[in-house]
């Protein structure tokens, strides 16, 4: 993880045409110091890993990516709560963070849920959203989009998540999604009685389209099948978490990059 703009063992930059000065992507499990079942680059404090190991991993993350500040780590609860961040808060209860301030690093932790990163076309506002089915049905994507100024053109990056072939859900999840968006049924395939395969990325895309976000870039990466690079709660149960990050350059960091 030596270059924020190039993929390597520990970092996958978002593949999207974000404005200059916006950096985004997701970590993998391939760096770090955590021991099984959190091996190796677990960045979550709430999963049972030793806090000292997580702290060390977070220091590696900040140092290798040359982050302008510690990420704003959220206390995620599968809610629809999106906070606006203007200072380096730690552990606020929310499942999304947005900011218009350079140097603030928005972050979400995932191990099957979908990390959704957003920015506007002018490169002046960003957001990171943790999308599981509960937050999805509670309208977290709508809340994230409303955090941007009205009429802004937005683009979205969909990070690694569990994909439909491995995401079996019950009829309760299917019903909740269809109640939220009546076209959500197209993101499900029934595979047995009262059980469905859910396409989380498709669900997110449908909701983004409802709010006029059509510039969508899907990583198409599956946390369940790619065990070498990604944690998966559905696959392993007790496990670590990846971090998906987005931030805007400060004037000083932009000048530093220009002079390199």
Say what the pLDDT of residue 3 is.
55
Give 176-226 pLDDT, tens digit per residue: 999 999 999 999 999 999 999 999 999 999 999 999 999 999 999 999 999
Q: Which fold has domain 11-162+212-251?
A: 3.60.140
Domain ranges across the chain: 11-162+212-251
With H, G, I as helix, E, B as strand and everything else as coil, classify residue 225: coil
pLDDT at residue 153 greater than cutoff 90: yes
For residues 79 and 129, is the Cβ–Cβ distance under 8 A? no
> Rounded to whole angstroms, how far apart are CA atoms 137 and 173?
9
Q: What is the mean pLDDT of the chain?
A: 93
> Rounded to whole angstroms, how far apart are CA atoms 69 and 59?
11
Largest CA distance in the chain: 61
Token digits of residue 152: 């802004």
For residues 199 and 164, is the Cβ–Cβ distance under 8 A? yes
Which DSSP string corresponds to 111-167?
SSSEEEEEEETTSS-EEEEEE-HHHHHTTHHHHHHHTSPTT--EEEEE--B--GGG-
- pLDDT band of residue 256 (cuts 50, 70, 90) is very low
For 108, 150, 165, 180, 200, the CA distances from 68, given in Å and listed in that order, are: 17, 28, 38, 38, 32
Q: How many CA within 13 A on the CB side of residue 159? A: 32
């Amino acid at each position: 993880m030596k270059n924020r703009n190039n993929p390597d063992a520990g970092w996958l930059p978002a593949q999207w045409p974000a404005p200059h000065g916006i950096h985004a992507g997701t970590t993998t499990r391939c760096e770090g110091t955590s021991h099984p079942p959190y091996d190796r680059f677990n960045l979550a404090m709430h999963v049972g890993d030793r806090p000292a190991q997580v702290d060390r991993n977070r220091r590696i993350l900040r140092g290798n990516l040359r982050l302008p500040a510690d990420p704003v780590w959220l206390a995620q609860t599968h809610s629809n709560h999106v906070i606006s961040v203007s200072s380096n808060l730690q552990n606020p209860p929310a499942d999304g963070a947005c900011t218009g301030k350079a140097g603030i690093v928005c972050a979400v932790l995932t191990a099957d849920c979908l990390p959704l990163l957003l920015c506007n076309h002018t490169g002046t506002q960003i957001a990171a959203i943790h999308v599981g089915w509960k937050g999805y049905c509670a309208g977290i994507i709508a809340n994230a989009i409303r955090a941007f100024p009205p009429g802004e053109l937005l683009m979205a990056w969909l990070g690694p998540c569990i994909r439909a072939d491995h995401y079996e859900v019950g009829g309760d999840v299917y019903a909740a999604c269809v109640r939220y968006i009546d076209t959500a049924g197209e993101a499900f395939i029934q595979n047995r009685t009262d059980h469905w395969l859910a396409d989380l990325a498709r669900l997110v895309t449908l909701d983004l389209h409802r709010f006029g976000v059509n510039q969508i870039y899907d990583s198409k990466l599956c946390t369940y099948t790619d065990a070498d690079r990604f944690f998966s709660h559905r696959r392993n149960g007790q496990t670590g978490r990846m971090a998906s990050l987005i931030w805007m350059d400060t004037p000083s960091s932009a000048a530093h990059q220009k002079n390199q």
